[in-house]
Structures are given as structure tokens and as C-alpha cells.
Structure 1
Amino acid sequence: MSFLHIPNILLAIPRNPVTAVGLPLVAGFLSGSPSSTKVANSNWYFGLTAPPGQPPREAFPFVWTLLYCSMGYASHVAVKALDTAVTTTSRDNLTLGIGLYYVQLGLNFAWSPLFFGAHQTGLALVDSAALTISTWYMTKLLDRPTNGKATYYLLPYCAWLAYATYLNAGIWWLNYGPGKRSKGL
């Protein structure tokens, strides 16, 4: 797996814990801010049938802020482990895990515009499933080389992504699934 190369800038950002945490916070704000404005100014979201177990929408900004901080710090832990890794297996797992960190960050960034901006709940569901799978795999890759430290920070995020994917799937199914309105994918 040593064929994977991560540009130095993408390794430099998480080396500093402030920029490591700041990157997902800024990305989340940039992705979610226009969406929250659209939700507030539109009846589309409020007209959707939600699956059981959906929390109040006021909970989402608090949860996501904590998860962004946690995932950012996990990236810091992973890069610090990469800086000191001695075995090829550890270096390869860390390199791929850090690469997946940026992949999941991009998928996370794309979700709100897909769901809230474009009202494409089906495409958002595909994005959410890819995000969840890549994050779980990233967490697995980073576990051993970081002695479980990255996993400690990433497991709440993994759990939330599984839950968020359930919510997205439920909204898609209840509103746009077989026999429902045609928009949504």
C-alpha cells in the first residue's frame, strides 16, 4: 500500500491540534450555514415525513460541533503516529487512514448541499452511506497504529453517522420511496 502519497500540506494541517480541529469546524460551518438558512426560509424540510427517533433540529449544531472537534483531533493523533511509525504496516495503515480522513471530510462537506440545498435525499443517502463506510474503515485502519487513541475520538462520530444514515434513509423512503413522490434522487 505504500503507493499512496499524501501531499505535505494535508499532513501539515493536522500536525497542529488547532488547525486539525479548525479544518472540520470551518468546513462544517461552510457546508451547513447556507443549508440552515434554506431550511429556515423554506417549508420543504418541515413538510417531510421523518422516521422514528429524529431528534429536535436544535440538537444538530451542538452534536456536529462536538463531532467535528473530535474528528479533527483524531486526525492530529493519526499524523503524530505517522511521524513516529517504524513499521511499514503501521505507516501504510496510517497513510491510507489519513487519506480516508480527507475523503470522508469531502463527503461530509457535500451532504448538506445535496440534502438541504438540492433536495436530493437519495443522492444524499448515497453520500451518507459512503461517508459512514469510509469513516468506519478509516477508524479501523487508525486503531492499532495509534494504540486506540484515534478510535476513542472517532467512535462517537461513527455511531452518529450510522444514525444519520438511518435518518436520511428513513426520510428518503417515507417521502420518495416506491410509490411516493418522484423527486429525491
Structure 2
Amino acid sequence: MNIKNKSALIIFILIPLAVGSLSAVLSGNSAAYSTLNKPPLSPPPFIFPIVWTILYILMGISSYIIYESEDPEKNKALRLYFIQLFFNFFWSIFFFGFSMYFFAFLWLLVLIILIVLMIYQFHKISPVAAYLQIPYLIWCLFAAYLNFMIYQLN
């Protein structure tokens, strides 16, 4: 990856990290997660911030690659990126903050569709940028399993 603008790279990495951090602060009730009945394969709570930090960094790098491209479709791809980031922001607020487990699950399904569309748009511009989003998609699919099962069990 050729870094043309280090300031832009840092900003693009900080955007998803800030969105995730603000969402976590606003959802506030993540301590209640420990009291929920959880499905098999539920990771220990300390795993979530580690995974999300890595995913947000990958998202930032990926979006930076698109931003720096000369492709005329880059604005469309970045618009889709920011829309999915908006959905990402509100999921934890619905799930942790309001304990709206079924609604959060439906919201997450929309997020997953947006991620797939974003990956498709990114791939047309930069396959590398698209591939950097694959772990995020996989994690959200896993989160959908956890979310739905928590809805069922609680």
C-alpha cells in the first residue's frame, strides 16, 4: 500500500475507532451482558474490545485505500461505507443500551447486507480494500448468531 497522505490515513483509522468508542459509551449497559443467558460459542467479554479495535483499524485502512483511489465510483463506495458505519454505531445502543434484542438482530441483518454491498463496491475499486473488510463481515455474521440466540434465550 502506497501511503500518499499519512494524515488522511490516521483520520480514516480514527473515524471508525471514534464511532465504536462513542457507541460503546452511549450503550452503557454492557455490564448487564454478563447476566444474560448466552449461547454456546460465546466468547469471554474481554475478547470483544480487542476484536472490534482490530476490525475498526482494518475498516479505516480499507476506507483510506478507497479515498485515495482515482476511481470515479469512490464517492459512492465511501457513502456506502459511512452508511454501514451509521448502522454499526446504533447496533450496540439497541442491543446493550435498550436491550432490544430482536430489533438489534434485524438491525444487524441490515448492517450485514450493507457490508456485503460495501465489499462489492470496494472490490470494484480495490480488491485489497474489499478483502480487508472480510473479517468484519465474518465477525458480524458471528454477532448475528450471538444476537439471535441471546434473543431466544432471554
Q: How high is the TM-score relative to the length of structure 1?
A: 0.75
Alignment of 1:9-158 (within 5 A): 16-35=8-27, 37-40=28-31, 44-81=32-69, 84-85=70-71, 91-92=72-73, 94-146=74-126, 148-158=127-137
Q: For residue 3 of structure 2, what is the aligned residue in structure 1?
A: none
Q: Distance in 1 between matches of 2:75 and 2:117?
A: 13
- Structure 1 segments, 4+ long, off by >3 Å, are none
TM-superposed deviation, 1:166: 1.1
Cα displacement string for residues 104-126 of structure 1 (whole angstroms, at most 9, x for unaligned residues):
11011101111111111111111
Structure whose alpha-carbon radius of gyration is higher: 1
TM-superposed deviation, 1:169: 1.0
Cα displacement string for residues 82-137 of structure 1 (whole angstroms, at most 9, x for unaligned residues):
xx12xxxxx23x33321110111101110111111111111111111111110111
Structure 2 stretches lacking a partner, 5+ long: 1-6
Q: Distance in 2 between matches of 1:170 and 1:150?
A: 31
Aligned identity (percent) is: 34
Structure 1 stretches lacking a partner, 5+ long: 1-14, 86-90, 176-185
Q: Distance in 2 between matches of 1:123 and 1:96?
A: 28
Q: What is the Cα-based RMSD across aligned positions, in Å?
A: 1.5
Q: How many residues align?
A: 148
Alignment of 1:170-181 (within 5 A): 170-175=149-154
Q: Residue 16 of structure 1 aligns to a residue in which SS? A: helix
Q: Distance in 2 between matches of 1:174 and 1:96?
A: 40
TM-superposed deviation, 1:50: 1.3
Q: Distance in 2 between matches of 1:39 and 1:168?
A: 13
Q: Does 64-73 or 94-103 show the bigger shift?
A: 94-103
Q: Distance in 2 between matches of 1:45 and 1:18?
A: 32
Q: Which amino acid aligns with 2:140?
A: L
Q: How high is the TM-score relative to the length of structure 2?
A: 0.89
Q: For residue 3 of structure 1, what is the aligned residue in structure 2?
A: none
Q: Which amino acid aligns with 1:39?
A: S
Q: Residue 29 of structure 2 aligns to a residue in which SS? A: helix
- Higher RCO structure (Cα 8 Å, ≥6 apart): 2
Q: Residue 151 of structure 2 aligns to a residue in which SS? A: helix
Q: Which amino acid aligns with 2:106?
A: V
